[in-house]
Amino acid sequence: MRQPHPDREHDGGVNATQRAVIVRGGWDGHQPVETTNEVIPFLEANGFEISVHDGPGIYADADVMTRTDLIVQTMTMSTIGKDELAGLIAAVRAGTGLAGWHGGIADSYRNEADYLHLIGGQFAHHAQREEQLTGQQSDYFQRYTVHITDLGRRHPITRGIDDFHLETEQYWVLSDEYNDVLATVTQEAREFDPWHRPVTSPAIWTRQWGAGRIFVCTPGHELDVVRNPDVRVIIERGLLWAARGQYAEDMSKQDSGRLHEPTGQWWYNNKTGEVEHGPQSLGVDRDGPFATREEAERAPEIFAERSRQWAADED
């Protein structure tokens, strides 16, 4: 059972402010600053107050963790103190959501068995391309398909999303059967590979730990991957699903193929001039959210009126 926030009265609505802690750092190649900055506007639009921390030290602060509804972590190939790890695990067990992508969550603290037990998967390998290697990250970029599972086609995070293709690192993940796997990837066996048959690994999964929810999306090597329309929608939905509160319950009640956004279902695309139901395009191109389609259609008029009011106030 989900635990209520200890210092806030919940009226059952989704407009109450929630608190998100972003923990980022580790290997710079995964662009922890750039990728987390990309999701901050989305979280703010959905009512989150956000604090950003360069490292896991905040996990040892029990007062902060008690007041945190969602942790977004991007800490690749890093280390964590015993008190920090204990604080993270205690927070999730008490109901704080934990979410992340790529090595920032699936390759964070390799030497900590308790962390691996919490997350349910650990990066083991990404295969190199067949071409001659150059010593660049792109040596490990290959085109592959993310396959949505039967569960994924019903789950609010991936419902309505078809199998899609990426050209980036493909994670081979060691995992356990406790995960709820929403999507998989398959690493083929090529002539020069030491393995003898194709290997399928989870690519996107969720995990319930105590009263907390965990969301992991292995695609997300760099900003361009996070901005992929399918990956972006999955990450945004995953953040809301993992967060303590009504988001996940409300999302699960929807039988449509699109994300239900409790704080406003409609967006105005300022590039195309079209109205969108749910986040269908990049956050930088979307204005909103709005409660109704009609309100979203009037977005340019609404913003123009607000600008006039601000100008009048300054006078």
How many Cβ atoms from other residues are within 10 Å of residue 310's Cβ?
10
Has residue 63 got a pLDDT over 80? yes
Has residue 284 got a pLDDT over 60? no
Residue showing tokens 């690749």:
76
Q: How far is CA 208 from CA 40, 178, 203, 252, in A?
A: 24, 9, 17, 15
Domain boundaries, the chain: 18-253, 266-314
Out of 8-12, 30-34, 145-149, least confident range: 8-12
Which helix H or strand E contains 142, and what residues bound it? strand 141-148
Has residue 241 got a pLDDT over 70? yes
Out of 77-81, 124-128, 208-212, 229-233, least confident range: 124-128
Q: What is the pLDDT of residue 269?
A: 84
Q: Which carries the bigger pLDDT value, residue 249 or residue 119?
A: 119
How many Cβ atoms from other residues are within 10 Å of residue 9's Cβ?
7
The predicted model gives 191-220 an average pLDDT of 95
Q: How confident is residue 294, by pLDDT bands cut at 50, 70 and 90? A: confident
Model confidence pLDDT, tens digit, residues 69-81: 999 999 999 999 9
Rounded-to-integer distance, Cα 86 and Cα 67, Å: 16
Kindly state the percentage of the chain with pLDDT values over 90: 61
Residue 288 identity (one-letter amino acid): G
The predicted model gives 221-249 an average pLDDT of 91
Model confidence pLDDT, tens digit, residues 124-173: 988 877 766 777 777 777 888 999 999 999 999 999 999 999 988 888 89
Entry pTM = 0.76
Q: How far is CA 55 from CA 42, 108, 181, 267, in A?
A: 22, 11, 28, 34
| Mean pLDDT rounded to a whole number for the chain | 85
CATH tag for 18-253 (out of 3.40.50.880, 3.10.20.30, 3.30.413.10, 3.40.50.11900): 3.40.50.880
**SS3 for 44?**
helix
Question: Under a CB-based contact definition with an 8 Å cutoff, are residues 7 and 67 in contact?
Answer: yes
Has residue 67 got a pLDDT over 50? yes
